[in-house]
Amino acid sequence: MTSQEAPPKRQAPLAVAAVTPRPAATTLILRDGAPGLEVLMVRRSLQASFMPGAYVFPGGAVDAVDGSPVHAAACDEPAEALRRRIGEVTQVGEQALAYAVAALRECFEECGLWLGAPEHHLPADGDWAPLRARLHAGESLAALAGSAGLPLATSALQPWSHWVTPIGLPKRFDTLFFVVLAPAGQVPEVDAGETTTLAWVHPPAALAAHGRGDFPMEFATVRTVDSLQPFANAGVQALLSHAAAQRALPPLHPRLRLDADGRIRGVLLPGQPGYDEAA
């Protein structure tokens, strides 16, 4: 998808009040596969209220409890280090803890991966599934970390980008995108609720399939997959080293390009023609 193409299924005239973006975290789980760098993507249910049927990265909204002291105490790095490493780079400041915990929680909830766990580590009951069921039942990630005998591996997460949903859409998110190495010895599984399919995809192949109409993705997802292309053959460690060296990831604020009737005809980024005049 180019910046001039309209996002799918958004052809109705805009008639929504300004919505405050909700903090959210999304994680690009990476591995070295046969074709080169691969990223894990999940397909959202066709019944989902947000981006139904689209392929996305595991993620979701930040919960109030994600930034609590009990989660800070469970992390494998001091809160001040996390604030400097993530909060200052992405301009989210003290919210860095909540974003990072949300990224770990959503990955375990949506695809069953406990990020940062040593290879072949299992919780006390010998299986990740019961622990994941407890998360779905409402237990905190900090409580589950205690049961598993593991810290919350926020140190495994590297910030990659920062996107804010355009003004004018009924749901808006202020989203940090993280990159992380896939945990060895674990196999991802969909939750059969929010997500129905998962796939390890090579960025060039995913973009080619999207161009053919075979792999539905929304604007920010397409741009994020495209951002992986310089590392498609370089491997995960090269990408993670690049991510760790980034010193500033200010939020990107796309704007909607509308026609005379107020219908969405595209998405524009800063610096593109028409951005300053767009909604």
User: Could you tell me the pTM of the whole model?
Assistant: 0.89
Q: Summarize the confidence of residues 259-279 as an average pLDDT.
A: 84
Question: pLDDT tens digit string along 65-111?
Answer: 999 999 999 999 999 999 999 999 999 999 999 999 999 999 999 99
Q: Which two tokens stand for residue 50?
A: 């947000």
Domains of the chain: 22-249 (3.90.79.10)
pLDDT band, residue 6 (cuts 50/70/90)? very low
Q: Which helix (H) or strand (E) holds 176?
A: strand 173-181
Q: 29 falls in which pLDDT band (50, 70, 90)?
A: very high
pLDDT at residue number 46: 66
pLDDT in tens, 186-201: 999 987 677 789 999 9
Dihedral (Cα; 86, 50, 12, 227), 10-degree rounding: 40
For residue 228, what pLDDT is reported? Answer: 98
Please identify which residue in the block is written with the tokens 């397909």: 43
